[in-house]
Amino acid sequence: MSPLDRKLLRDLWRIKGQAIAIGAVIGVGVLMLVMMTGLVTSLDETRRAYYERYRLADIFAPVTRAPDRLIADLAAIPGVSAAEGRVTGSALIDLPGVDLPLRAQAVSLPDFGEPRLNDVYLSAGRRLDSDRSDEILLLEGFAKAHGLQPGDALSATMNGARRTFRIVGLAQSPEFLYTTAPGELAPDDSRFGVIWMSRTALAAAYDMEGAFNQALLSVGRGDERAAVLDAVDRILDPHGGLGAYGLENHESNRFVSEEISGLRAMSSGVPPIFLGVAAFLLYIVVSRMVQAEREQIGLMKAFGYTNVEVGAHYFKLILAIAAGGALAGCLAGIAAGRALIGVYLEYFKFPFLVFQLDPQAFVIGFGVSVLAASAGGLVVLRGVFALTPATAMRPPAPPDYSRAGRIGRSLNRLLDQPSRMVLRRLTRQPGRMAGAVIGIAAGMALSVGMISILSGFDRTLALTFSVIDRSDVTVTFTEALSENAILELQRMPGVIEVEPVRIVPAVLRNGLKTYRGVINGLVTEPRLNRAVDQDVATIPMRQEGVILATALADILDIAPGETLTVEVREGRQPVLDIPVIGIAETLLGSPAYMELGALNRALREPNRVSGAYLRVDGAQRESVYRQLKDMPTVAGVSLKADARDAFQKLMDTGAGAMRYIMAAIAAIITFGIVYNAARIAYAERARDLASLRVIGFTKGEVAFVLLGELAAVTLVALPVGALLGYYLSFGIAAGFSSDLYQIPAVFTPESYGAAALAVIAAAVASGWLVKRDIDRADLIAALKTRE
């Protein structure tokens, strides 16, 4: 081993505390990169394999009723490789001991053989026997939520008739990775299920013998999807086609894609922040080490070492810290990814999900870590190359502090000697102090950003389920009914208030921008479910046009005063041009609102409602639920409390759970930054502090000289970090938001206070660790430095 390599090992041991702290900062950046890219790769590859293995359709085409002979016409469309018709319908499941009717979707399977498209994965039991019309397969998640097994009986109401079935198997399907009841956004296994039946049995239940109400198509990869969709609509329109749509607009796939996109955005946006902070810290550590070792650099050059050899020595120090942190980050990222993969397996109903490492993540992690560290180190090494042996072995010229000294001269009479030392240090080296302030402010900004996001998730829940939705129960009818249905609900004992609603599926279009959603028809002055503005005031429903949620307006790139094209996907399916008259502050989903009467007039269906919001007496809830369960016109009942719990679970898993991981990492980063600032200051002043001890200063006074500087720098960094955190929060909030929910950046005194306390706690802990080293310092060794 060469002498320089032995010196390298000694230097690493001497600054082991700082090296570990900087390596930890690099490590968490690489951890996030490896973990997130691994999760993205795992989800993306598993989804692709699952879709291909079970032949998920590329195009879905709902229709009112179409004869089976049209399947041949659909299969003949250029670009279509396979076409199949099936029967689907809504159902209500009746379970003993459950007051509420549970919603389900019934789906047909071919009487013989496997389906050409949208096959199912059988996780328990056996497949259907076509000779037995009472056999069903049940969605595994729903079955587990209610303790159902193959062999159990199940009662369900289909098309107004109650039937009893026998469960013969539990199944999963790529079509139902993300399962939600119609009209809801958060999945809940206990409140929504899927039933698979033989084609003959389900067609008989829904009067679909010889017909289908949904076509599935598979298309080649290179074919024009838009042309196929137009051809499908032309064939099915005479039979009540409701508008074909591609897999990208399928609800389950869309939410899975949103999750993957969110992880991909975070994997590319978050790690660079941590690696940038690490590069800054390395620059400070190495630059100050070079300044402290001027004499050693001069001696090495005097003994014949070239600039390249001396520079390589310090560059190896940088690489050792960066590579060590990157390696630790890779290993920790693998462990974290494997731990989170179980969460996603539960979150999305994959039958299999294995954490797959992305080799590029290792290369990028190591490469970016080394480059980020080298960027700061190379600036320092320029100074090493510039030093000649004669210059390096002389002490540096003393700086001129005459001007800086005037700043604190007026305070000298008010301060004791240690305090004056702290003040002189701060005023005479403003550049170094500014670097320390920026470093600690970066940690403060990370804490502010993550705490504001935690508050943003809470605000989304509170605004949605306490301010916007003030109902207790949402009732959905089997079809659009007359307003007499509302009178029937109002007469129920225990119902305090009823508010009608009309929900119409539609494709919203502004030029080339489209969104497949619904129009919510509300009463003029809604009370139980409202649209609100930025001040959380109710927006009255006006008859002139439509009001869009902020997220929907952004998706469609439309503003008030412009005209929105609405392609209705029910009934006569009119195409309407409606002006946009307002923007609503809605954080859940991307709804559009119209006045109920105006919506019905536009559809030429007066006095129609498709559901209602109810406020019920808590003492009579069970009675109300039982009455709703017995109403043949009710397609579903959902409780706001259950929806809130489901959405809370949604936010605490998947990408939402990342906020806790990132908050913990922000705390680690903050401590690493503050600790490094303290260690660097101590390394620079070790001899000065030892000298103070020799001339009679106590341990406490010596510690005050150093820690007073740290305290002053920390206090100055707090407002700077708060300002940086304010702007950083908007970027993090945008990364967490999706079509499903929008997370605002919420700024409260509590969030700033909590972030400040985190920084102060890190400063106190770092100060304690440094003071311990001061108390243990070897005064003789510290004073063995030539001036």
Q: Supply the Cα-derived Rg of the chain in whole angstroms.
A: 34
β pairing state of 495-510 and 121-125: unpaired
Residue-averaged pLDDT of the chain:
81
Helix (H) or strand (E) holding 102, with range, is strand 102-109
pTM for the model stands at: 0.74
Least confident of 159-163, 288-292, 628-632: 288-292
pLDDT recorded at residue 384 = 62
Residue count of the chain, please give it: 787
CB atoms within 10 A of CB 260: 18
Is 684:292 a contact under the CB 8 Å cutoff? yes
Measured distance CA(731)–CA(435) in Å, rounded: 24
| Residue among 379, 370, 389, 372 at smallest CA distance from 307 | 389
| Interval 700-712: pLDDT, tens | 777 787 788 788 8
Amino acid, single-letter form, for residue 157: T
Does the pLDDT of residue 74 top 90, yes or no? yes
| CA angle, residues 700, 702, 706, in degrees to nearest 5 | 110
Q: Tally the C-alpha atoms within 13 A of residue 29's C-alpha that lie toward its C-beta.
A: 35
| CA angle, residues 638, 643, 645, in degrees to nearest 5 | 140
Does the pLDDT of residue 159 top 60, yes or no? yes
Is 355:23 a contact under the CB 8 Å cutoff? no
Instruction: Work out the pLDDT band at 323, boundaries 50, 70, 90.
Output: confident
Within 8 A by CB and 6+ apart from 496, the residues are 614, 615, 616, 617
| Residue among 761, 660, 679, 719 at smallest CA distance from 19 | 679
Measured distance CA(282)–CA(676) in Å, rounded: 10
Helix%, strand%, coil% for the chain, nearest 5: 55, 20, 25
Measured distance CA(769)–CA(674) in Å, rounded: 12
Q: In the numeric block, which tokens belong to residue 466?
A: 């306490």
For residue 169, the cross-strand partners are 125, 137
| Interval 347-402: pLDDT, tens | 777 887 777 777 777 787 777 777 766 766 666 666 666 666 666 556 555 555 45
For residue 155, the cross-strand partners are 94, 164
| Interval 43-61: pLDDT, tens | 888 888 899 999 999 999 9
Instruction: Work out the pLDDT band at 520, boundaries 50, 70, 90.
Output: very high
Is 51:174 a contact under the CB 8 Å cutoff? yes
For residue 265, the cross-strand partners are none
Q: In the numeric block, which tokens belong to residue 183?
A: 């009209």
Q: What is the mean pLDDT of the segment spanning 512-525?
A: 89
CB atoms within 10 A of CB 524: 12
SS (H, E, C) 656-685: HHHHHHHHHHHHHHHHHHHHHHHHHHHHHH
Instruction: Work out the pLDDT band at 415, boundaries 50, 70, 90.
Output: low
